[in-house]
Each structure stands twice: as C-alpha cells, then as structure tokens.
Amino acid sequence: MQAIILAAGMGRRLGEFTADNTKCMLKVNGERLIDRMLGQLHRLDLSRIVVVVGYEGAKLREYIAQRYPSRRIEFVENPVYDKTNNIYSLWLAREHMAADDTLLLESDLIFEDGVLDAAMWSEQPNVALVSKYETWMDGTMVRIDDDDNIVNFIPKKAFKYSDTDFYYKTVNIYKFTREFITDHYLPFLEAYIKVLGENEYYEQVLRVITLIDKCDIKALPITGLHWYEIDDVQDLRIAETIFAAPEAQLEKIQRSFGGYWRYSGLLDFCYLVNPYFPRKRMVDEMKANFETLLREYPSGMGVNSLLAGKYFGIRQEYVCVGNGAAELIKSLMGRIEGRIGIVYPTFEEYPNRLPADRVAKFRPSNPDFSYTVDDLIAFFDRTDIGSLLLVNPDNPSGNFIPRPDLERLVAWCEGRGIRPIVDESFVDFAQGGVDHSLLHDDFLAAHPALCVMKSISKSYGVPGLRLGVLASADRELIAYMKGDVAIWNINSFAEFYMQIYNKYEKDYARACDLFRAERRTFREELGAIPYLRVVPSQANYFLCEVTGRFTSYDLTLRLLTDFRILIKDCSHKKGFENGRQYVRIAVRDREDNQRLVRALKTL
C-alpha cells in the first residue's frame, strides 16, 4: 500500500496565509498540515508516499527532504498548476498510482488518526470515506444506499438544499486497489481528460464510473470521527478549535461567544434560550418570506418601535428597539450619570461598560447568592448611587423578586432620586411569568425614571435575530437612545418576526408552561448528582455548586472533552471569589437534558 497526496493547489482563499507557501504548509495549532499528515501516514508502514506538488513546489520539496531524509517520499510536479485542477495532478501521477494499492488524499485536510485506520482496516477493497452532510461542508457530495453503495456523485451544480438529509460529503480520502486503478479508474481518467480537459476534479471521474459502469467503490461513513477541510481563514479558525488540546479547545470555544453550530455534535448548555419557542408554524412563515426579507431594506426606528410597542402592549414612544439588548445596554450605560448599584455576581455586560469606580457592588453573603428587596434597600440606603440595576431573575443565580416587591423597590428608588433599571429578560420563565413584568403603560408613566430592559433572544428563543427593547416613560432618554443607535439597527428578519409574533402568543404561553414543567424535572435530576448542589432558580438555568470530585473547570473540561457538552464555568466570573466552585447549566428540552444527566452520572 502506498499513499498519494495532492498538494499542487494555490489556496487563493487563504490570502496571506498562502502568499508564499502551498496550503499544506499551513500551521494549525503550531503544526504544519503536511507534518501532521506525513506522521499519520508513516504509522501505517506504507511502501512509499508520493506528493504531487505545484504552487511553491520547490519550497515544499526542500522542506520535506530536510525534515524526512530517511523516509521514502517521492515527488511529481504539476508545472501548470495555475491552469489546471487536481484531475491533471492525478493524471501526472498515473504511473505511480498504477504501481500499488493506493491511499489517495488531498493535502488541505486535517483529521484524527482513526480516519486513516477506518480506511486501512475496512473489509472493502475500494472505499470512499464520507461524512454526513453538515452546513459547513462544500464540494462533492454523494448519495448512498442502505448497503453503502454510492448511488451517485453530486457535483456543486447539482446540489439541492432540499436533499441534504440524504447527502454525504466526500472526505477526499480514498482507498483503491491496484486492480481497480488499472482496470477502471485510469482508463476513465484518460478518456475524461481527453473529452473535457484538465481543469476538472478527479472525483468527476468517479461520478462517471458510477453512472456507466459497475462501481466497486463502497462509501465508508466515518461517523463520530473528526476531520476538516481548510479552504479559507474561517476554516482555519474552526480547525484550530476542533484539533486543539482539550484545555485550549475549551478556551477557544468560550472566546467565540457563540456560533457553536459550526462545531459538529457540540451540545450547548451555556446560551440561555427558550427550547420550546418559536414553534414550527412560525418558523415556516419566516421561511416563506425569506427571499423578500433578504432582498428588502428593513424599516427605521419609527416603525420598529411601533412593532415593539404592539409586541409588548405598550406605547410606541416608550420603546427603543435594539440589535439585541447588548446594543441598548451600551447606549444606556453611556447616558446614565453617577455611580450604579449592581448585585454581584451579575450579567457583566452592564458593569463592563463603566469604569470600576462607578460601580457599587452588593454581594449576598450566602452560598445561594439569594437576596430580597429589603437586603437591597438596607445596603444601598447607605451607599451613594445614581442608578440601581436589578436583573430579575438574576443571572447567574436565578434569584427572583416578585412584582409587588419590585414595585416597592421602584418606589424607594424614586424617593431617593435613584434611577431603577430592571432587566427582566428572564421573567417569563418565572412562576407566574408575565404577571411579574413591569412593561405596562400605567406603571411606566407613574415612574418615568424607571428603565425596563428586555432581551427578546432569551425567553422567545430567537438569539440569531438579535432583538431587544428598552422601555421607559423618560422621553428624553428614549429620544437620546433612538438617536444613538443606527437608523437601521435591526434587519428585516427581526422586524418581520415582531410583526407576526402576536399571531403566535398562545403558542408562546404554552411554550413557557412546557418549560416550567421541564425545569422542575431537570432540577430533580440535577439534584440527584452527588457532586452538585443546585441553587433554586426561576430562570432558564441553574447555578450549581460543584461540591466534590471536581473543580468547576475540571467538570466543564471533562464534559466538553468526553461528551461534546458545553456548560458555563463560573470560576473566573466576578463575584465568585469565595473559593467555592460553581457552574451554570441552561435548561434545554427533555432529550438534551437527559443527555447531560447521563454524562454527569457517568462521571
């Protein structure tokens, strides 16, 4: 068995990273792709390795020759790499290919060792490694039958998004017998080049074979094995995360603050959204209007504040709409004066917008981080503040203050000349839900200094739309904030969502009921884990103290490494300096929650 590596391409989409070197010289976490691949191939005790070079081929030859002087590595050069494609590179290596059974690989791949093992030890003599289609994949797809026969190769032009449930992506690793190469592949390769030219892909030949000849190639799905094809800088970033050491992988994922759909199989218990809303019918209505929304400009603030007012049943002039609550927090924090009172630990987007000397911190003295309105009044009554922030339910503790007590706190603030700011992004999850909301015209009008923040992403399950509102009867503040944000600060999809939401309010109410039932069940299950102490919560997450066996970091790392489950390690979050270990775990649906519980029990 030999290996042939196709490494002649220019890698234009990688820009500066391939300005003076071919793609396989790219470093991923400090190791060049070619070094990783050669190391994996040398494990297999192959007769030889053939590398087809082109762009910056002399540099690649010299590098390999100096680094691997005692190993049998041969080279084939494609002198017209800039005018041809990999079909011609393979044609130039035809004599080498015909000499032995062959592993064929493309040089821009990164994969774990088990991928090559799957090919080598497959009982099938000729295999094409394939992987179930995911959104990041590009290039040639195949359809396979129940016996892993390749029904068809599907080139880019024939790709249909409606058929992706049936697609597998070719991994660009093949195992061919010498007999298949000489009797089938090379004759078709020669004919294909003669008819259609040299600027094609070698997989097109396999497609022809499957169409007009009895194809002896079996698909070999590599389910559960990690691999990635690096074509651009985003691919490079993702590959660096997937193939990082466990500690580095956790750090890279945490630093990305989302976009976890790019990481295959990752189950996210960090981000805090409603698992039961929106329902399919609402999503279908969004899809039905996708092209119009994509091609049309959204409305400005006037229309969107009207829609938001309708959404929450409050006056348009009381509402400023934001590109997520984060945009509104930035604007609000830039406007308020004096010091602001904040309960710690907290959602740090608020204090991060201010210098440390403008933040007055209240820290509950109990391990549940629980507190009451009386606790806040007692502490801030002797503290000089101009504003008081209350996240309710609080993040990450889940502490909750019901509306009657909130009203008492707002009245106390009013009497002291303090602006109350209530972030009720999670209030709909609380027992009683919207009955505890302060988003009511009469209450806002009676307390014009009050600001109510609401992230639509959280309880409504649409974080990708980036929607939030701030409501206040302080017309001067609202006018300032409307002028402070961009005129088109939300897109057409978010605008349309607000427009149609009221048709689905009953679905939303049912979703919140389903959520509260699931939260009760999930709390019982987490409470049965011997090394966790679950803090009571009225939000869509639980703060859990890790009481033994692990640190919070160790637990987070083990869940990611062993089970592809991501939870929030709170050890570096401000307010947890008491030496205790805490993690925050979102509440998802029954299936996902059971998967996490099984993992925790396994540990």
Task: Answer yes or no: do 207 and 339 share one domain.
Answer: no
Q: Kindly state whether residues 308 and 208 are assigned to the same domain.
A: no
| Rounded Cα distance, 545 and 530, in Å | 11
Q: In percent, how much of the chain has pLDDT > 90? A: 67
Q: Is 149 helix (H, G, I), strand (E, B) or coil?
A: strand
Mean pLDDT across 215-233: 87
Range 70-79 average pLDDT: 90
Distance of CA 56 to the CA centre of its chain: 35
The yes-or-no verdict on residue 200 having pLDDT over 70 is no
Least confident of 17-26, 133-142, 372-381, 437-446: 133-142
Q: 207 falls in which pLDDT band (50, 70, 90)?
A: confident
Work out the mean pLDDT of the chain and round it to a whole number: 91
For residue 599, what is the DSSP state? H
Cα–Cα nearest to 397, from 583, 122, 143: 583
Cα diameter, the chain: 91
Q: Does position 547 have pLDDT exceeding 90, yes or no?
A: yes
Whether the ω angle into residue 69 lies within 30 degrees of 0, i.e. cis, is no
For residue 380, give the CATH number of its domain.
Answer: 3.40.640.10
The span from the CA of 505 to the CA of 62, in Å, is 67
CATH number of the domain bearing residue 196: 3.90.550.10
More confident residue, 263 or 177: 177
Return d(Cα 552, Cα 392) in angstroms, integer: 25
Mean pLDDT across 350-356: 94
The pLDDT score that the predictor gives to residue 199 is 66
Q: What's this model's pTM, rounded to 2 decimal places?
A: 0.86
* Confidence tier at 189 by pLDDT (50, 70, 90): confident
| Contact in structure between 76 and 88 (CB atoms under 8 Å) | no
Domain boundary among 466, 487, 506: 506
- Identify whether the C-beta of residue 104 lies closer than 8 Å to the C-beta of residue 173: yes
Cα–Cα distance measured from residue 208 to residue 189, given in angstroms and rounded to the nearest whole number:
10
Provide the pLDDT for residue 262.
72
Contact in structure between 562 and 249 (CB atoms under 8 Å): no
Q: Give the model's confidence band at 213: pLDDT under 50 very low, under 70 low, under 90 confident, else very high.
A: low
Mean pLDDT over residues 188-198, rounded?
Answer: 78
Q: Are 585 and 468 members of one domain? A: no
Residues 322 and 468: beta-carbon distance below 8 Å: yes
For the stretch 218-243, what's the b/e string if a residue is b when 16 or more beta carbons lie within 10 angstroms of its beta carbon? Answer: bbbebeebbbbbbbeeebbbbbbbbb
Q: Number of folded domains in the chain?
A: 3
14 and 158 in a single domain? The answer is: yes
pLDDT in tens, 445-503: 999 999 999 999 888 999 999 999 999 999 999 999 999 998 889 999 999 999 999 99
* Residue 583 and residue 472 share a domain: no
Do 261 and 322 lie in one domain? The reply is no
CA dihedral 220, 225, 228, 234 (to 10 degrees): 140
Same-domain pairing of 256 and 326? no
Q: Decide which of 187, 216, 239 is a domain's last residue.
A: 239
210 and 290 in a single domain? The answer is no
**Is there a single domain that holds both residue 86 and residue 172?**
yes
Mean pLDDT of 96-107: 93
Residue 342 structure tokens:
């904040």
CATH number (domain holding residue 572) = 3.90.1150.10
Who's near 133: CB < 8 A, 6+ residues apart? 141, 164, 165, 167, 168, 169
Q: How confident is the model at residue 583 (pLDDT cuts 50, 70, 90)?
A: very high
Least confident of 18-27, 212-221, 311-320, 406-415: 212-221
Is 113 in the same domain as 211? yes
Q: Which long-range contacts (CB under 8 A, 24 or more apart) does 255-261 make?
A: 258/463, 260/566, 261/135
Q: Which of 183-187, 278-282, 288-292, 426-430 has the lowest mean pLDDT?
A: 183-187
* 199 and 63 fall within a common domain: yes
Tell me what pLDDT residue 214 has.
65
Domain match, 66 and 156 both: yes
Q: Is the pLDDT of residue 245 over 80?
A: yes
What is 316-372 written as a DSSP string? GGGEEEEEHHHHHHHHHHHH--S-EEEESS--TTTGGGS-GGGEEEE--SSTT----
Question: pLDDT-derived band of residue 521, with 50, 70 and 90 as boundaries?
Answer: very high
Q: Which of 195-204, 381-390, 455-464, 539-548 has the lowest mean pLDDT?
A: 195-204
Question: Residue 342: beta bridge partners?
Answer: 361
Domain that holds residue 403: 280-506
Stretch 48-77: mean pLDDT:
91
Last residue of one domain, picked from the residues 477, 506, 535 = 506
